[in-house]
Amino acid sequence: MSQTTYLEAIRQGIWEEMERDERVFILGEDVGRYGGAFKVSAGMLERFGPERVLDTPISESAIVGAAIGAAYMGLRPIAEMQFIDFISCAFDQITNFAAKSRYRWGAGVPIVIRGPSGGGVHGGPFHSQNPEMYFVHTPGLKVVSPSTAYDAKGLIKAAIRDEDPVIYLEHKFLYRRVKEELPAEDYIVPIGKAAIRRPGTGMTVLTYGAMVYLALEAAAELVKEGIDLEVIDLRSLLPLDKETVLESVKKNSKVFILHEDTRTGGIAGEISAVICEEVFEYLDGPVLRITAPDTPVPYSPPLEEFFLPKVSDVMNTARRLASY
């Protein structure tokens, strides 16, 4: 069996859903003839035709708005943001039209909005962002962020089949760096379920996206120091798998949260609040955060390296927590 990259897994997932369900179609900038800026939709125009692989003008708001309209008519649109940074242009359609639709008048909006997020590739302030919290803060949306090829495929399929709008954040740093053998048969990864990537009994780190690998790398080192880290990959940020998170905290009594998103208003703060509200009496230390600083994502390598959380940050935080 061959190894499938994270990128190819997304493509396969979309492809298989388009084969399975003729209502599924994609729209976005350069997705058709060009096959997408990262080639996620390569070959789809040839296979499915221009009516199901729609090249659009540079109009993120219209892309999402049109996806909403098509969804009302019974279709299952997948809207690509060429870089997820551009999702800000469609903010209004997502948060006001799509997210509130079911609540206001009972009309669900089964759309997927997907695109490459995250830093580490010198994309600078407009090609590196992690916009998850704008949407995690919006009732009516779902937000997922896969870290493995298996999850990338399983979550895109789950998102396409979901009855509500799903923001699917793929990490561009992982596109070709992560690969694994995938099952031949159809599968989904349910939205709202976290995965324990490394069981551990010392303390818990909650993370997602590319940061999962940072946590695993740190865990491999920390075990030498006698710190047994449990690494939980959230996978789904909204809804959050509180059950898995809280069970782990109750078991290990120490927890920190690691994300590439900036600090203030990042999901670490939210999760920390949930932990304090619900399992405070189990805690043996403070709920700590490792995040990017509150700045835009800088371009120049030394600046970006400073910006992104590092393995050493994880190790230092774990050591600090171990001292409690």
Which residues form the catalytic set?
127
| Options 33, 39, 104, 251; binder of other proteins; rule CB under 8 A | 104
The rounded distance, in Å, linking the Cα atoms of 41 and 34 is 8
Q: Which stretch, 115-123, 138-146, 241-249, 296-304, contacts other proteins (CB under 8 A)?
A: 138-146
Three-state SS for 121?
coil
Q: Which amino acid appears at position 53 of this protein?
A: V
| Options 96, 201, 295, 312; binder of other proteins; rule CB under 8 A | 96
The rounded distance, in Å, linking the Cα atoms of 199 and 293 is 29
Distance of CA 167 to CAs 71, 135, 194, Å?
Answer: 15, 8, 17
Give yes or no for residue 88 binding other proteins (CB under 8 A). no
Structure tokens given for 96: 């006001």
Closer by beta carbon to other proteins, 48 or else 256 = 48
The rounded distance, in Å, linking the Cα atoms of 280 and 299 is 40
Pairing between β-strand 142-144 and β-strand 236-238 as defined by DSSP bridges: antiparallel
| Options 28, 116, 140, 146; binder of other proteins; rule CB under 8 A | 140
Closer by beta carbon to other proteins, 191 or else 314 = 191
Burial, 152: exposed, middle or buried (Cβ in 10 Å; 0-12, 13-18, 19+)?
buried
Could you give the string, one character per residue 11-50, with x where binding to other proteins holds by CB under 8 A and - elsewhere? Answer: --------------x-------------------------
Distance of CA 98 to CAs 28, 44, 65, 201, Å?
Answer: 17, 26, 8, 42
| Options 20, 43, 72, 190; binder of other proteins; rule CB under 8 A | 72
Query: Site for other proteins (CB under 8 A): how many residues?
Result: 41
Closer by beta carbon to other proteins, 62 or else 279 = 62
Give yes or no for residue 64 binding other proteins (CB under 8 A). yes
User: How many Cα atoms occupy the beta-carbon half-sphere of 86 within 13 Å?
Assistant: 18
Closer by beta carbon to other proteins, 18 or else 212 = 18
Closer by beta carbon to other proteins, 96 or else 300 = 96
Residues forming contacts to other proteins in the complex (CB under 8 A) are: 25, 51-52, 54, 56-57, 59, 61-75, 77, 92-93, 96-97, 100, 102-108, 139-140, 142, 162-164
